[in-house]
Structure 1
């Protein structure tokens, strides 16, 4: 379904991604783990071209694109089939909860307001926010803001949803409510890529774990293979630092 080949990205003389290869099948739940600064978030942002790779290629079903010759139509087609949940929520402060979820449906997908509202209501019910429709972001907790972001991502009916450390900006007491929603989303069968430091959560929801280190995929395996029997010393060191083993 989705394949990245020899993906590289540099900012000036600093190379962030050093040749990443990743293949994702339809229905996969792939958690991407690794130390901070190793390119995990950048990798996600390259998929929908929020970050511009230096070289490499992407195949998304029938869409194929060489990043050195990026095609606007291909970029748009990929963006229409993906949705991203950001670390910092990225909700519009001047819009209510339901307006935030409706916005991409009306502006990007050109749906009627009535249709957009019906979809938004469905997704907000799904994330437990049906009682907050007319609240503004300033009236919400961090967990509620992130659940709004998840509802907005789901509303566009993406083929792939990208979670970029969705609990990193939350107080510890609010993490659980967001993880519960993510678990519900991933168990529904939607193809998901999740960058996270929540190791036990990644182990419980994923069918594959990718360990990134120094800008490359250093190890890739099932959750059991990664967490219960890490064959790579660097991986074992990382998991020990995260108190997983």
Structure 2
């Protein structure tokens, strides 16, 4: 369904991605783990062209693009099939919750207001925010803000959901409410890529785990292979430090 080949990206003289190869099948739930600064978030942003790789290719079903010769039509077509949930919520502060969810439906997909509202209400109910639909972001907790972001992403009916450390900005007591929603989303069958430091959560919801180190995919396997029987020394060291930290 989704294939990345030879992905490279540098900021100035600092390499971030050093030749990433990754294939994702329809329905996969892939958690991407690894030390900070190894390119996990950058990898997600390359998929929907929020950042431009130096080189590499992306294939999305029948859509194909060489990043060195990217064209606006293909970029837009890929973006329409993906939706990203960011660390920092990315909601519009001057809009109510329901307006935030309706916005991409009206502006990007050009749906009629009535239809957009109907879809938004359905997704807000799905993430447990129906009663907050007319609230403004300043009136919400961090968990509610992130659930608003998830509802907005789901509303556009993406083929692939991209979660970029969706709980990293939350107070510990708010993490579980967001993880519950993500678990519900991924169990519905939607193809998902999740960058996370929540190791036990990644193990429980994913059918594949990708370990990134120094800008490459250093290990890729089932949760059992990655967490219970790791063979990569760097992966073993990383897991040991994560378990000690938590």
Q: When the two structures are superposed, what TM-score results if normalisation uses the length of structure 1?
A: 0.99
Aligned to 1:180: 180
Q: How far is the alpha carbon of 1:71 from its aligned partner?
A: 1.1
| Superposed CA offset, 1:76-135 (max 9, x none) | 000000000000000000000000000000000000000000000000000000000100
1:242 aligns with 2:216: no
For 1:17 and 1:62, how far apart are their aligned partners in 2?
Answer: 25
Q: How far is the alpha carbon of 1:216 from its aligned partner?
A: 0.3
| Superposed CA offset, 1:199-240 (max 9, x none) | 000000000000000000000000000000010111000000
Aligned to 1:20: 20
| Superposed CA offset, 1:4-40 (max 9, x none) | 0000001111110000000000000000000000000
| Superposed CA offset, 1:170-210 (max 9, x none) | 00000000000000000000000000000000000000000
Gaps of at least 5 residues in structure 2 are none
Q: How far is the alpha carbon of 1:63 from its aligned partner?
A: 0.5
For 1:146 and 1:198, how far apart are their aligned partners in 2?
Answer: 16
1:117 aligns with 2:117: yes
Aligned to 2:52: 52
For 1:80 and 1:52, how far apart are their aligned partners in 2?
Answer: 17
1:161 alignment partner, SS class:
strand
For 1:176 and 1:240, how far apart are their aligned partners in 2?
Answer: 23
Aligned to 1:66: 66
2:7 alignment partner, SS class:
strand
Aligned to 1:159: 159
Gaps of at least 5 residues in structure 1 are none
- Structure 1 consecutive aligned stretches of length 4 or more whose deviation exceeds 3 Å: none
Aligned to 1:191: 191
Aligned to 1:29: 29
> How many aligned positions are there?
245
Alignment of 1:70-85 (within 5 A): 70-85=70-85
Aligned to 1:94: 94
For 1:2 and 1:222, how far apart are their aligned partners in 2?
Answer: 18
Alignment of 1:111-150 (within 5 A): 111-150=111-150
State the superposition RMSD in angstroms: 0.9
Q: When the two structures are superposed, what TM-score results if normalisation uses the length of structure 2?
A: 0.99
